[in-house]
Amino acid sequence: MPMSFEKHYFPNRWIKTKDQQEHSYFQDHGTEDHENHKEGRLTKQAILLLAVHGLFAAANALSGTFVNVYLWKVSNDLSLIGWFSLSHQVVNILTFWLAGKWVKEHNKMNSLRLGVGLSAVFYLFVLLLQKQAVDYVLILGAVQGMAAGFFWLAFNVVYFEITGPHDRDKFNGYAGLLGSGAGMFAPWISGIVITQMKATSGYKIIFSISLIVFVIGVIVSFFLKKREPKGTYQWFDAFQRLKEKNNPWRRTFLALMAQGMREGVFAFIIGLLVYIATRNEMKLGNFSLIVSAVALVSYMFIGKYLKPWNRNRAMFIGTIFMIVVIFPFFWDINYTTLLIFGIGTSIFLPLFTIPMTSTVFDIIGKDNESAQQRVEYVVLREAGLNAGRILGTLIFILIITWSNKPIVLNVFLLCIGSSPLLAWYYMRNLMPTKSNKTINIKQK
């Protein structure tokens, strides 16, 4: 998804679940790999996976921020962007669920390659359709949603398998650095290219570059070894947990929905508002550079010093200030207030996302039986997030169709931007305390 400093398919470098601390896939898979993990060195396969991740992140960062801007410039219709995002979100979760069987029982590397390849196909379609792309937003959104689903499901599972307790932090650190670096510099470079070219020529250039980078990513992925399937995919087993009265997934799923409501809208609307307020792609590139740089520093600092038993307090503080930074919009939506929002969100978002994501993955890895169903639980996590994203985007489409008055949009942004408060409410009793440094597996 474009312009998404709030979207998280991949666990951040500071997430250490109980399963990550105790379980290493490679303990039973070869002496050389096991020794590498023991010494904290990244294996060759881990380095190759990082390379694929870096190429995927760079290609998306180059063009992802500007796809919505391009569609809006052609259509001048915010609801159309909403439908594009909705199509992405619906197909994304269907892909996660359906691809789960392929990833668990067959060749998960082909799922990874297909995700990268479909991303290239998406930009090829945009290039071929040009201004007619606005007539095919549902199809384009579906292709992009499938690409993200195939890639991130396989990536998260492969990442779990090729890293161990001694090198997982190092892998995630490099992955975070690659993602943040791409988010900082790629949109900035794209902004320069677009503003220096006439009409839509700059867009064609950056979309073409993204297509080429994705193709390179597919080629590099063939150097990754095929991973042996293990277990049988249970289509509905994880979802059955939602029916169990004292199962933590009942509260977790509702919290994920609340998190997704904000993500689903803010992922595309903020970048659009920056462009609409400035009518300048370079300004949008600068915005991405600034907020990504602040987010990188904030994640590094908070991730280093935040202790598990402080998650509850940190998540609450982060949530409150994520709401507070929306209020300047009631004064005016301009580049300054958007920058205040972007910087403020970048500072406080880690206080929300690190405890939230860490606790969810703690629940997934709470015991060996749960870890064996990691594919199913990753799918369940994404189902919760995407259910919230879909709900938020549907409300956006209804609101923007009913009224385009600034006050209506501001009230909507405040309401949808306050949904993380519900996420904190549902998660607050599932997080560790100083006296009990493990997750609470029953609802309070």
How does pLDDT run across 170-223, given as a tens digit for each residue?
676 677 778 778 888 999 999 999 999 887 889 999 999 999 999 999 999 999
Q: Is the confidence at residue 314, as pLDDT, over 70?
A: yes
Q: Is the confidence at residue 144, as pLDDT, over 80?
A: yes
CA of residue 280 relative to chain centroid, distance: 26
pLDDT band, residue 42 (cuts 50/70/90): confident
pLDDT band, residue 164 (cuts 50/70/90): low
Q: Which residue has the higher pLDDT, 161 or 248?
A: 248
Q: Nearest 5 degrees, angle CA 81-CA 87-CA 92?
A: 130
Q: How far apart are CA 249 and CA 415, in angstroms?
A: 25
Q: Is the confidence at residue 13, as pLDDT, over 90?
A: no
pLDDT band, residue 297 (cuts 50/70/90): confident
Q: How far apart are CA 430 and CA 427, in angstroms?
A: 5
How large is the average pLDDT for residues 323-351?
95
pLDDT at 21: 40
Highest mean pLDDT among 152-161, 194-203, 253-262, 397-406: 253-262
Average pLDDT across the chain, whole number: 85
Q: Which residue has the higher pLDDT, 357 or 351?
A: 351
Q: How far apart are CA 42 and CA 35, in angstroms?
A: 10
Tokens representing residue 338 in the block: 């958007």
Architecture of domain 18-427: Up-down Bundle (1.20)
pLDDT at 395: 97
Neighbour tally for 131: CB within 10 Å: 12
pLDDT at 438: 56
How large is the average pLDDT for residues 328-343?
96
pLDDT at 378: 87
Highest mean pLDDT among 41-55, 211-225, 311-325: 311-325
In the 8-state DSSP scheme, what is residue 10?
Answer: S
pLDDT at 441: 52
Q: Is the confidence at residue 39, as pLDDT, over 90?
A: no
| pLDDT above 70: percentage of residues in the chain | 86
pLDDT at 359: 85
pLDDT at 112: 92
| Stretch among 34-43, 89-98, 322-331, 431-440 having the lowest mean pLDDT | 34-43
Tokens representing residue 342 in the block: 């972007």
Q: Is the confidence at residue 427, as pLDDT, over 70?
A: yes
In contact, 310 and 257? CB cutoff 8 Å: no
pLDDT band, residue 68 (cuts 50/70/90): very high
pLDDT at 259: 96
The torsion region of residue 208 among left (phi > 0), alpha (psi -120 to 50) and beta comes to: alpha
pLDDT at 231: 82
What residue type is 400 in one-letter code? I
Q: How far apart are CA 345 and CA 321, in angstroms?
A: 8
How large is the average pLDDT for residues 143-165?
85
